[in-house]
């Protein structure tokens, strides 16, 4: 059992008193005096020890001793005081350090218990100073986080403070802890010693803890710091995984309830923008030569500038187009310094931006591009990239579902609307749907079978000459994959190296076949991108094939019935009823697409003598010969009608009045060559043109009819015909 120091001191004084009482020599009192001096010096310090030693040296005069013994014993007492002070000081320091380490260990153990209780990474980092307050004591703790481009900022955003070299070294060091001593003159405001501890998640630096204090750290302290840094890093990684799972579950729930592609894009942006600390974002889809916004979230103060960019991004503008072309994400932490930066974004001061491709099944490139940005500096850490990747996969699946539903809805709509519109409008709707929905399409044309030829029934922004007819052999040469594959409706793709037609960078040709017969060829064109069409384009085009084949077959059956009702039985030309329908359709088309439309109305000369003198049979033969002559002079796209009796009409789409004069001369020449038993035919022709002369379909007919009668009666066209 150890005796307390006060009791030992008391026993030592008692022993000295006993030696004095027994009148013994001083040498017998010396050990007890040494005990007393050593204890007072070791416990209370050198000053107290020396004072007690001097007091005891004086007390030695009370004992019987020689002068030499007196000086020797006095020296021994003083030396005892000095040695005891040195030993005591070492023991006190060791005891103090042991107590400090015990306290540190308790603090770290408490910290390790508290770390798992945090629910988010930001909360954990912000609470570290409070959690380590006992450990810090007089030390100062700063938490630095990356903000991109190799820069750091304080978590509490103290702009006046910059990180030290040691902090930057901690970012790159393989070990979690670095230590460095600083001279007091260099850092009088922050202490002499600095410790930087790196926090990593999956080998990526997410924060640096910087400790500053006036004394150095023991090795044991550094080991404890290592353990704490490892524990915090593991918890940060765990929280990241937990937050990512929670985010993806919320996004998946939101996407599951989205009914179309616009709502799908809106849901993704609603979750991504705050999670990635962005200000604005848009999801854009390639359509008809431009990236067009499916959805966008923009702060009110930025909408005047950014709303137009989010709605439509012109070709080759900004990082989004680079991502569309390459299919590889682009991350920018100093966006304004990039040469391809959009001027409007540079003026607003955007610094951090990402353009991320959204890949759908079979796509060689991202048909949809996600763009997010902010004016603050944000580091594109691995955790943020994992968030983007996870959300992109969910978004891709949801968009693919929404696009497939949109395609099916458009096909169903086409099938139901086919009976509500004239055939030419249905052809146009089919083509417009294909250009809009088949990935990579900018333009196109639909060529429908007419006997052994194919005629262009619809076009959208196409460089194709739709006023021509193509033979079946010519289209098979263009298709280039053989008649057997065409009969099976197998689509094919040509790039710019294989194309001789000007204005196209790539072409997708889809033979629309039914029961082994090609009913039509659907041509879809990319005007700028040689790699616009890929497997997803073929897949979507093939989805069109069967319903379009059914629709075209029904249209052709309907056209056959309509043709029987709208065709003159004698000449095979369209009749007056057909003329009334086609005049309205063609005028509406000319008005919509801003091209000229000319109407020719003609009345035969010398027909009455043939009919009266040679008989009605010869009159009918004359009418048939006139119809044949009109067909020979007919251009692709022109329409010829028999009004009745000896009156005919021609509709000339995309033909101005000047060109119609050439057509009229050719018609007169062809009719003048028709002679029956000495009676030769001719014609009176009236011409009117939109928009140069009239502005309505009714006015077009009235004007042409009036001019025909004026030519017949030899009166000016602008004067009323009294004999009419």
Provide the token pair at 62.
């009370």
Those residues with Cβ within 8 angstroms of residue 700's Cβ, 6 or more apart along the chain or in another chain: 583, 587, 597, 599, 688, 689, 690, 694
The sign one gets for the Cα dihedral 480, 481, 486, 492 is negative
Question: Do residues 169 and 178 make contact, with C-beta atoms less than 8 angstroms apart?
Answer: yes
Determine which helix (DSSP H) or strand (DSSP E) holds 195, and give its type and residue range.
strand 193-201
How far is residue 307's CA from residue 312's CA, in Å, rounded to a whole number? 9
Question: Do residues 353 and 361 make contact, with C-beta atoms less than 8 angstroms apart?
Answer: no
| Residue 646 is among the residues annotated as catalytic for this protein | yes
The sign one gets for the Cα dihedral 377, 379, 380, 383 is negative
Residue 59 has phi, psi (to 5 degrees) of: -65, -20
How far is residue 188's CA from residue 442's CA, in Å, rounded to a whole number? 68
Provide the token pair at 585.
């359709």
For 454, other C-beta atoms within 10 Å of its C-beta total 22
How far is residue 587's CA from residue 145's CA, in Å, rounded to a whole number? 68
Those residues with Cβ within 8 angstroms of residue 341's Cβ, 6 or more apart along the chain or in another chain: 318, 319, 332, 335, 350
Give the DSSP letter of residue 64.
B
For 657, other C-beta atoms within 10 Å of its C-beta total 15
If DSSP codes are grouped into helix, strand and coil, which group holds residue 636? coil
Active-site residue (options: 536, 568, 646, 705) = 646
Question: Do residues 233 and 265 make contact, with C-beta atoms less than 8 angstroms apart?
Answer: no
The sign one gets for the Cα dihedral 682, 684, 689, 692 is positive
The position carrying tokens 């009608």 is: 641
Question: Do residues 327 and 365 make contact, with C-beta atoms less than 8 angstroms apart?
Answer: yes
How far is residue 263's CA from residue 294's CA, in Å, rounded to a whole number? 8
Give the DSSP letter of residue 650.
E
Give the DSSP letter of residue 63.
S
Sheet holding 506-514, edge to edge: 469-471, 453-460, 443-450, 517-526, 506-514, 492-495
Give the DSSP letter of residue 182.
-
Provide the token pair at 300.
């009110």
Question: Do residues 622 and 613 make contact, with C-beta atoms less than 8 angstroms apart?
Answer: no
How far is residue 104's CA from residue 133's CA, in Å, rounded to a whole number? 11
Burial (CB < 10 A; 0-12, 13-18, 19+), residue 67, is exposed
Those residues with Cβ within 8 angstroms of residue 408's Cβ, 6 or more apart along the chain or in another chain: none
Q: Alpha helices, DSSP H only, in 115-204?
A: 121-131, 133-136, 165-172
Give the DSSP letter of residue 300.
G
If DSSP codes are grouped into helix, strand and coil, which group holds residue 647? strand
The sign one gets for the Cα dihedral 289, 291, 292, 294 is positive
Task: Provide the annotated active-site residues.
Answer: 646
């Amino acid at each position: 059992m150890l005796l307390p120091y006060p009791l030992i001191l008391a026993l030592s004084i008692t022993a000295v008193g006993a030696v004095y009482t027994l009148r013994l020599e001083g040498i017998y009192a010396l050990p007890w005096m040494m005990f007393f001096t050593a204890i007072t010096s070791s416990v209370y310090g050198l000053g107290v020890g020396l004072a007690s030693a001097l007091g005891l040296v004086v007390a030695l005069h009370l004992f019987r001793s020689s002068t030499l013994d007196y000086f020797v014993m006095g020296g021994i007492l003083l030396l005892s005081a000095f040695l005891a002070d040195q030993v005591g000081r070492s023991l006190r320091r060791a005891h103090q350090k042991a107590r400090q380490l015990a306290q540190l260990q308790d603090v770290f153990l408490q910290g390790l218990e508290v770390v798992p209780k945090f629910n988010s990474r930001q909360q954990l980092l912000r609470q570290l100073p409070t959690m380590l307050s006992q450990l810090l004591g007089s030390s100062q703790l700063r938490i630095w986080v990356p903000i991109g481009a190799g820069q750091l900022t304080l978590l509490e955003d103290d702009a006046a403070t910059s990180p030290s070299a040691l902090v930057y070294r901690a970012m790159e060091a393989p070990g979690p802890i670095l230590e460095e001593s600083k001279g007091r003159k260099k850092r009088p405001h922050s202490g002499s010693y600095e410790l930087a501890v790196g926090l990593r998640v999956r080998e990526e630096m997410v924060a640096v803890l910087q400790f500053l204090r006036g004394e150095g750290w023991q090795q044991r302290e550094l080991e404890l710091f290592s353990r704490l840094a490892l524990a915090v890093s593991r918890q940060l990684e765990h929280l990241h995984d937990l937050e990512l799972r929670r985010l993806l579950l919320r996004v998946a729930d939101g996407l599951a309830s989205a009914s179309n592609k616009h709502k799908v894009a809106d849901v993704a942006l609603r979750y991504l923008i705050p999670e990635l600390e962005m200000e604005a974002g848009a999801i854009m889809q390639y359509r008809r030569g431009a990236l067009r916004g499916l959805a966008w979230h923009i702060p009110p103060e930025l909408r005047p500038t950014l709303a137009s960019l989010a709605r439509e991004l012109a070709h080759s503008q900004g990082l989004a187009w680079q991502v569309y072309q390459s299919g590889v994400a682009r991350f920018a932490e100093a966006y304004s310094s990039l040469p391809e930066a959009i001027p409007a974004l540079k003026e607003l001061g955007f610094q951090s931006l990402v353009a991320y491709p959204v890949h759908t099944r079979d796509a060689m490139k991202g048909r949809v591009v996600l763009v997010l940005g902010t004016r603050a500096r944000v580091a594109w850490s691995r955790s943020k990239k994992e968030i983007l990747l996870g959300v992109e996969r969910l978004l891709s699946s949801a968009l693919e579902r929404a696009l497939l539903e949109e395609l099916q809805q458009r096909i169903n709509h086409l099938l139901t609307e086919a009976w509500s519109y004239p055939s030419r409008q249905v052809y146009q709707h089919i083509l417009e749907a294909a250009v809009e929905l088949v990935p990579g399409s900018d333009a196109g044309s639909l060529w429908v079978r007419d006997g052994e030829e194919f005629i262009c029934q619809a076009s959208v922004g196409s460089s194709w000459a739709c006023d021509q007819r193509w033979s079946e052999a010519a289209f098979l040469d263009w298709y280039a994959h053989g008649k057997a594959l065409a009969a099976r409706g197998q689509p094919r793709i040509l790039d710019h190296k294989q194309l001789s037609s000007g204005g196209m960078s790539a072409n997708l040709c889809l033979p629309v076949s039914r029961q082994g017969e090609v009913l039509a060829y659907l041509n879809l064109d990319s005007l700028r991108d040689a790699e616009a069409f890929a497997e997803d384009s073929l897949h979507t085009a093939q989805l069109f094939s069967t319903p379009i084949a059914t629709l075209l077959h029904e249209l052709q059956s309907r056209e056959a019935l309509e043709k029987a009702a709208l065709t003159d039985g004698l000449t095979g030309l369209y009749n007056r009823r057909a003329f009334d329908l086609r005049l309205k359709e063609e005028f509406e088309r000319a008005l919509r697409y801003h091209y000229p439309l000319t109407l020719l109305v003609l009345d035969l000369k010398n027909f009455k003598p043939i009919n009266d003198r040679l008989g009605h049979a010869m009159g009918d033969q004359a009418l048939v010969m006139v119809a044949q002559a009109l067909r020979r002079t007919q251009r692709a796209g022109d329409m010829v009608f028999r009004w009745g009796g000896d009156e005919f009409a021609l509709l000339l789409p995309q033909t101005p009045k000047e060109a119609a004069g050439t057509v009229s001369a050719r018609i007169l020449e062809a009719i003048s060559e028709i002679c029956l038993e000495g009676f030769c035919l001719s014609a009176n022709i009236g011409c009117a043109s939109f928009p140069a002369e009239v502005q309505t379909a009714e006015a077009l007919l009235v004007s042409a009819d009036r001019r025909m009668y004026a030519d017949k009666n030899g009166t000016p066209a602008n004067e009323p015909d009294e004999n009419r």
